[in-house]
Amino acid sequence: MTEPSWEDFRLNAFGEPYMVWHDGPDFSAIRDQWCAEPGLVERMLLEGLATSDDLAAQAIGELHDIAGDAAPRFEAALRERLPLSSGSRRVRIAESLRAFTGSDEWDTHVGESLDEPNFWSERINAAMALRRAKPTLELIDVLVRGAQDEEYLVRYHSANSLAAWGKGTAIEDRDDLFGDLVSEADPDRWAKVAKVLAEEARATLAN
């Protein structure tokens, strides 16, 4: 029996690409399929990773706890692709490597992706992913820069990740800061928000 292409496999496992983008991927089906057909799923995900599909990189990480004997092969493939990747792809690969290795060292790649001159949607993905990372002084500085970005959604998600590392209150619930964050073309107000949130996040590192 002929194996499906990665595109067909992706469609069956995750659904229409637009809905995956709009609603976010659901990994429950591919986890179930892994239990039934691990060989096929491994081949398909590695093929997707080789074609630089962000979703394949992310899905591999979602299997880290059930990958079994395939774990070293997945990790090796992720390591190989990381230097060849940028933007959201770099973020997803780094997060999957964190899942497989248990090391926070990969989070620097996520921070660097936020600093890269990528399209705003890719920088948003990096800003959101940093919320799942372990706070460090260096990553706080990265989010400080993101919280002063000219693109509102980059500012918002960077500030929200900083807020999560600090007081843990969503940025839209911070009446003392949110108005400044959403103000248009006012870098001084954005800088004020970033400074406050950075101080709160740094304080948690000292505890």
| Stated pTM of the model | 0.92
Neighbours of 79 (CB within 10 A): 14
Residue 114 lies in a domain: no
Asked if 116 and 154 count as a contact pair (C-beta separation under 8 A), the reply is no
- The mean pLDDT of 145-169, rounded to a whole number, is 97
CA distance 106 to 101: 9
Radius of gyration of the chain (CA): 19
Count of domains for the chain: 2
Which residue, among 97, 94, 29, 84, has the nearest Cα to 44 in the 3D structure? 29
**Same structural domain for residues 72 and 151?**
no
**Same structural domain for residues 129 and 173?**
yes
**Same structural domain for residues 148 and 204?**
yes
Over the stretch 103-132, which tens digit does the pLDDT of each residue have?
A: 999 999 999 999 999 899 999 999 999 999
**Same structural domain for residues 92 and 19?**
yes
- The mean pLDDT of 17-40, rounded to a whole number, is 93
So what's the pLDDT on residue 206?
A: 74
Structural domain boundaries, residue 173: 123-207
Residue 113 lies in a domain: no
CA 111 to chain centre: 10
**Same structural domain for residues 49 and 139?**
no
Over the stretch 136-155, which tens digit does the pLDDT of each residue have?
A: 999 999 999 999 999 999 99
Asked if 63 and 28 count as a contact pair (C-beta separation under 8 A), the reply is no
Residue 41 lies in a domain: yes
**Same structural domain for residues 64 and 156?**
no
CA distance 195 to 187: 12
